[in-house]
């Protein structure tokens, strides 16, 4: 969905160092960037209670979905992208 403007950003908790984060992204061949939440603020803000946790955020910053199960993620993103 990148041609339609979708940006994916992974956020890792502070227990993973920057070097390990780069290694993990390379190992998993991720097609998106990963940021480190060193102080846990994003985890608090999005009320993350399990990992992985998916939050869908619109271009205006509005949270469109949070806690979307992994097996429903592609359908949820697809539905939002046709709007």
Bridge partner residues of 34 (DSSP): 10
Give the lowest-confidence range in 19-23, 45-49, 64-68. 19-23
Question: Percentage of the chain with pLDDT > 70?
Answer: 98
Q: How confident is the model over 3-24, as a mean pLDDT? A: 79
CB 12 within 8 A of CB 40: no
The vertex-25 CA angle with 24 and 30, nearest 5°, equals 140
- Confidence band of 41 (pLDDT split at 50, 70, 90): very high
């Amino acid at each position: 969905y990148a041609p339609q403007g979708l940006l994916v950003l992974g956020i890792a908790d502070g227990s993973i160092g920057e070097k390990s984060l780069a290694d993990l992204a390379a190992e998993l061949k991720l097609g998106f960037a990963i940021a480190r939440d060193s102080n846990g603020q994003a985890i608090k803000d999005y009320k993350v209670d399990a990992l992985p946790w998916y939050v869908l955020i619109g271009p205006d910053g509005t949270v469109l979905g949070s806690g979307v199960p992994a097996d429903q993620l592609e359908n949820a993103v697809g539905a939002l992208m046709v709007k």
